[in-house]
Structure 1
Amino acid sequence: MRLLPATCLALLSTLAPSLSAAESRLPVVVELFTSQGCSSCPPADAMLADIARMDGVIALSLHVDYWDYIGWPDSFASPDHSARQEAYARAAGERMVYTPQIVVGGQDRVVGGDAMAVMEKLHAHAGAVTPVDLRARCHGGELRIEAPPAPLPGPLDVQVVRYRPEDRVDITGGENAGLSVAYHNIVTSWRKAGTWTGEEPLAMTVPCEGSDRAVILLQEPGPGRIRAAAKAGR
């Protein structure tokens, strides 16, 4: 089932919050755990393309490596992505991981092929605000991350995510043999750049080489709830 971007955007915009001077709108962060070797994943990959075009949403595609053994090694897969999904499972007290799976806001886990359930979670998160005025800019090979002091429930991990906007893969083996699949917002690296308590201004500079785009996430350890997020300008 494909989502209609205009319809989705209309649903999300109905919950746009009224912001105080000390608040910013919190983007809805959507993480899709997927694999080129998973026969159930192409519909979820297509749905992520629609989600990625919606205002107020940061959509990321994380390819896992644990299906590589069934006949097609995923060209975007990383054991780091598999480890992140496993960490989410442990935080939720779950023992199994699967694809496709979507995690919304670092909190809610949804079967990635269930479009209605995904939309319900997007709608639920669309009204969230944050006290963090997070800014990021990539220029001259450096990514500058800044935010003024803010009241936080505890220290947050500063996550730097690099991603490729789009690529297409002709799959010639495994469960999806014969398919040509377009992937969107493909995560190419994910690293923790530091920790921030909110007591002092956030001012951090990390390398930002190459053409991949960048997103900054401030997330509770665990991984847990995402408290702030921003795409890096150029």
Structure 2
Amino acid sequence: MSRIPAAMAFIVLSSLVPGSAGAEGEKVTAVLELFTSQGCASCPPADEALESFAKRADIVALSLSVDYWDYQGWKDTLAEHAFTSRQKAYASARGDRQVYTPQMIVNGRVHVVGSNEEAIERAIAEGPAPSVPISVGMMGDAIRVSVGAAGKGEPKKATLVLALYERHVKVPIERGENRGRTLSYYNVVRRLRPIAVWRGEPLKVDLPMAEYRETGTDGCAVFLQEEAADGGPGAIIGAAHVEKAGESW
């Protein structure tokens, strides 16, 4: 999480006026990352549960398909090995080494079974919720991300991460544990990458639309994530999202 690629399609603009946080919107109370697989018979209920969270304006809900079930005869069509690595990095940072599907990571801090909505709601309520203000909105042919300043006693460094996602994908499964079913996935992450380093000061970032058109996505989330002691992904301390309206952004 600490390294930012040299060639990135983003523009860092002048800092915001101290104390400002950009356009106001509903505060995000949680970032949910569901690690799932088309080859896992226990995952469809979790994929369905994610739909209800994805509909909430105060939740950034993301589906990340892993590839370690592929050996059972069905190669997950949405999986990225990078998502498997991310899930394992979370487990390493927590120190519990628990990697399974369906697994829900709440605000980069705790994990629960992804189909257990009561446990997910409890983890959200017990917090802490992301507190650094972030807003996203259209600015010409770009999406503008406005990040506020750190509050008193809050962290002063984190990585700003971009997640591009498709809101709904249907996949017919031909082999494996879910053979013969057509499964629905929500907020399917197609690209996940760092876009800037935030150091506690207000910041603006413009994201050109070319990347969105290239991936064919209709949703965008950004979140601030601390680095864990072992260098892996840590707590998420700020987040926002925006979705395509109709045929155009």
Moved more, 49-58 or 162-171: 49-58
CA distance in 2, matches of 1:96, 1:108: 11
SS in 2 for 1:161: strand
CA contact (8 A) 1:26 1:227 kept: no
Tell me which amino acid in the other structure corresponds to 2:241: K
Share of identical aligned residues, percent? 39
Higher RCO (Cα < 8 Å, 6 or more apart): 2
Q: Which residue of 1 aligns with 2:136?
A: 136
Tell me which amino acid in the other structure corresponds to 1:232: V
CA distance in 2, matches of 1:193, 1:100: 28
TM-score when scaled to structure 1?
A: 0.82
CA distance in 1, matches of 2:83, 2:141: 25
Do residues 62 (structure 1) and 72 (structure 2) align?
Answer: no
CA distance in 2, matches of 1:206, 1:42: 33
CA contact (8 A) 1:138 1:232 kept: no
CA distance in 2, matches of 1:129, 1:73: 35
Tell me which amino acid in the other structure corresponds to 1:214: C
CA contact (8 A) 1:27 1:228 kept: no
CA distance in 2, matches of 1:150, 1:109: 26
Do residues 202 (structure 1) and 208 (structure 2) align?
Answer: no
CA distance in 2, matches of 1:214, 1:70: 32
Tell me which amino acid in the other structure corresponds to 2:225: Q
Q: Which residue of 2 aligns with 1:216?
A: 222
Tell me which amino acid in the other structure corresponds to 1:177: R
Runs of 5+ consecutive residues of structure 2 not aligned to the other structure = 1-19, 244-248
Query: Cα distance, 1:51 vs. partner?
Result: 1.6
Number of residue pairs matched by the alignment: 211
Q: For 1:1-234, what aligned pairs fall within 5 Å after superposition?
A: 25-125=27-127, 128=129, 130=131, 132-138=132-138, 142-151=142-151, 152-199=154-201, 201-208=202-209, 209-210=212-213, 211-212=216-217, 213-222=219-228, 223-232=233-242, 234=249
Q: Which residue of 1 aligns with 2:6?
A: none
Moved more, 31-40 or 50-59: 50-59
TM-score when scaled to structure 2?
A: 0.77
